Amino acid sequence: MTYAPYPALRLRRTRASAWSRAMHAENRLAPSDFLWPLFVTEGTGVEEPIGALPGVSRWSVDLIVARAKEAREAGIPCLALFPNTQPNRRSDDGAEALNPDNLMCRAIRAIKDAVPEIGVLTDVALDPYTAHGQDGLLDHTGYVINDATIDVLIGQSLNQAAAGADIIAPSDMMDGRVGAIREALEEEGHANVQIMAYAAKYASAFYGPFRDAVGSRGLLKGDKKNYQMDPANSEEALREVALDLAEGADSVMVKPGLPYLDIIARVKDAFAVPVFAYQVSGEYAMIEAAAAVGAGDRDALILETLMAFKRAGCSGILTYHALHAARLLNG
């Protein structure tokens, strides 16, 4: 590719004014790019601020509905729900995940009754329900059993779909779970329920505040490295994505976000499918901490990091900054 030499070509020409910068922008952010993760807790009229996530709270079901109405007004198309399951409802087998009246299912029904035009994405994994904090069932050595876990994940997925979930998002990283869930959804008449597979979910140090939010940090025994991906690997991510797509995933997710922009770009280039990223709790907390000590302008940091996901190839971003960012963009 040949370009005219300076001064015939001056790249600063198109940057000289705001209207020209807007006209030449290669990527744009809109509220419709955001999925808003929300934490659900028991009670009525309950808001529980999460210390590790300044500005983020757990909400009771009635107040989750209020958040859904705010999302609708801001132009955010979808909510991602995560339950804070009470300790007495946790067990080694995560049986509460199969309860049709569990916290997640009640929140789904309440949102779809009050704000039916908002999409609801539900997390499928057992860590919010297990007494040991792992994403699946354990054998006698503490190893997470793949195939037995899938059987429970199928039941969890059908439970959430029956409650009205629009997108099932398996975050457990068990091999083969996407195909099994897709088959079960089809058999049970949920043909239009999407699967957004956490296809490249890394064993990351950035998840700490999330575990506080869902009440699993103090419960977790060991780590999740035998099923979540090694941060050193990228070719493996492409294999994971290829398998999930072959099994029926409608879209795929990379998690965490900013430390893995290279993975997002490679997945988009290789497969040309909808790719989503989760700007996880640790990323959110870092932005808030930086802004709090004057290390950067909060609004500018938020919008620049979200634009980075779009530039890398994301169709959408799960971010705790969703409502604030949407309001900034709406002016």
52 burial type by CB count under 10 A (0-12 exposed, 13-18 middle, 19+ buried): middle
Give catalytic status of residue 255 as yes or no. yes
Tokens in use for 255? Answer: 């998690």
For residue 83, whether the previous peptide bond is cis, meaning omega lies within 30 degrees of 0, is: no
Torsion angle in degrees (nearest 10) through CA of 125, 53, 208, 264: 70
* Selected catalytic residue, list 201, 224, 268, 310: 201
Distance CA 122, CA 165 (A): 6
Give ∠ CA 60-53-113 in degrees, rounded to 5. 30
The whole-angstrom distance between residue 105's C-alpha and the CA centroid of its chain comes to 18
Furthest-apart CA atoms within the chain: distance in Å: 72
311 phi and psi, to 5 degrees? -60, -35
7 phi and psi, to 5 degrees? -95, 5
Q: Pairing state of beta strands 275-279 and 251-255?
A: parallel
CA Rg, the chain, in Å? 20
Give catalytic status of residue 268 as yes or no. no
Distance CA 81, CA 122 (A): 5
* Selected catalytic residue, list 69, 112, 221, 255: 255
Distance CA 305, CA 31 (A): 15
Distance CA 58, CA 52 (A): 12
Tokens in use for 154? Answer: 């199928």
- Residues known to be catalytic: 201, 255
